[in-house]
Chains A and B, each alone.
Chain A
């Protein structure tokens, strides 16, 4: 990877430009995309090193790409180290975390993965027509399969912790309604005693995770309603919420939690 200098030389300047842009600069997205595409072979290379451990290579490439994006976002050229010595551990770390998060439950058979996809598909349809989240029996009826299969598929969904690249990359939503709803939830947060402890920790979250937490716990919305507002699936909201709560729990000082 150290001989990569010439191959990626043209990206160095771009990285420097990118690093000094304000977070709301309109040029940011385009530059970021070019950087991600340019450095993609690095992520692919690292993903291949982790292949053969039971995870499909394409999933690993997706996770490695997420690591690459994080590396691009966080890299600052003025710290003196070159991009590769920062990016390689960041990307490998993301892939390792993927394996760790999945643990033993990652070995989900193909059949269950397909089932997960079918279930996910009808869940949003049914939520629309029912006006609430569907029950396993309703999903089974719609798919014309036994409830036992749906239960199995739902279990597999729990094992399916990683988000697809598309989901990770989906742009920060900024629709007027979501903004208003978050505003109301935020005002509600002001009224609780623990807001001083919670605010800084919430601020560390990605925009979408923060939005979901605020809407669920301070905006009085169900997961299905949030899914519709934010434009992702209920199962994805469920996963993000669980992951975020877990992170909040470790970040919030035990003393603030339990004193």
Chain B
């Protein structure tokens, strides 16, 4: 496997490679982030449904976070590529102290359907800053046989 484009070459020694993307928390930059994750998934040989699902899930995640983000804040997305799955961790500093991502919305339904596992975490901000809102996703390389 000396082909640099072969999926397994993306794996580090421990079987995980990590990619971190930091952008301004602006909707205009979301296409860049989703292009990164869809490339990672394709190189990890996810099936086409899984690639497309993950791409849309990251799109939805980032759009949700950008909605609550404080002006001028940074959106941080960490992608961990395992042999058979990709883990996504995305976070932003929220504008309002009481900012929450509701799980009773269509957007959340979308995330639950597209990802194998999804959760949201709120950490109170320090020193007058808004809370940190974080969404975590887990996506397997292929659907389990149904």
- In chain A, residues 161-207, which have Cβ atoms closer than 8 Å to a Cβ of chain B? 192-194, 197-198
Size of the chain B interface, CB-CB below 8 angstroms: 40
Q: Per-residue CB proximity of B41-54 to A under 8 Å, as 1/0?
A: 01101111111110
A234 within 8 A of B: yes
Checking A132, A135, A235, A238 against B45 with a beta-carbon cut-off of 8 angstroms, the contacting residue is A135
Inter-chain CA distance A216–B113, complex, in Å, is: 8
Inter-chain CA distance A147–B52, complex, in Å, is: 18
Q: Which residue of A lies closest to B35 (CB)?
A: A158
B23 within 8 A of A: no
Shortest B23–chain A CB gap in Å is 17
A137 within 8 A of B: yes
Checking B48, B53, B142 against A123 with a beta-carbon cut-off of 8 angstroms, the contacting residue is B48
Stretch at the interface among B11-19, B58-66, B123-131: B58-66
A136 within 8 A of B: yes
Given contacts A137-B45, A197-B106, A234-B48, contact A245 B56 (CB under 8 A): yes
Q: How many A-B residue pairs have CB under 8 A?
A: 105
- In chain A, residues 3-48, which have Cβ atoms closer than 8 Å to a Cβ of chain B? none
Given contacts A194-B104, A249-B107, A257-B107, contact A242 B59 (CB under 8 A): yes
- In chain A, residues 201-259, which have Cβ atoms closer than 8 Å to a Cβ of chain B? 216-217, 220, 222-224, 234-235, 238, 241-242, 245-246, 248-249, 252, 254, 256-259
Checking B42, B109, B143 against A194 with a beta-carbon cut-off of 8 angstroms, the contacting residue is B109
User: Across the interface, do A132 and B49 meet the contact criterion of CB distance under 8 Å?
Assistant: yes
When distances are taken between beta carbons in the complex, the residues of chain B under 8 Å from A148 are 3, 5
User: Across the interface, do A147 and B51 meet the contact criterion of CB distance under 8 Å?
Assistant: no
When distances are taken between beta carbons in the complex, the residues of chain A under 8 Å from B59 are 242, 245-246
A155 within 8 A of B: yes
A117 within 8 A of B: no
- In chain B, residues 110-146, which have Cβ atoms closer than 8 Å to a Cβ of chain A? 110, 113, 141-143, 145
Give A contacts to B, CB under 8 Å: 123, 132-137, 146-148, 151, 154-155, 158, 192-194, 197-198, 216-217, 220, 222-224, 234-235, 238, 241-242, 245-246, 248-249, 252, 254, 256-259
Q: List 12 A-B contacts (CB under 8 A).
A: A132-B142, A133-B48, A133-B50, A135-B45, A136-B43, A151-B42, A222-B143, A223-B48, A241-B52, A245-B56, A257-B107, A258-B68
Given contacts A148-B5, A258-B64, 12 further A-B contacts (CB under 8 A): A134-B48, A135-B45, A135-B47, A137-B7, A147-B5, A151-B5, A154-B48, A158-B38, A194-B104, A257-B67, A258-B105, A258-B107
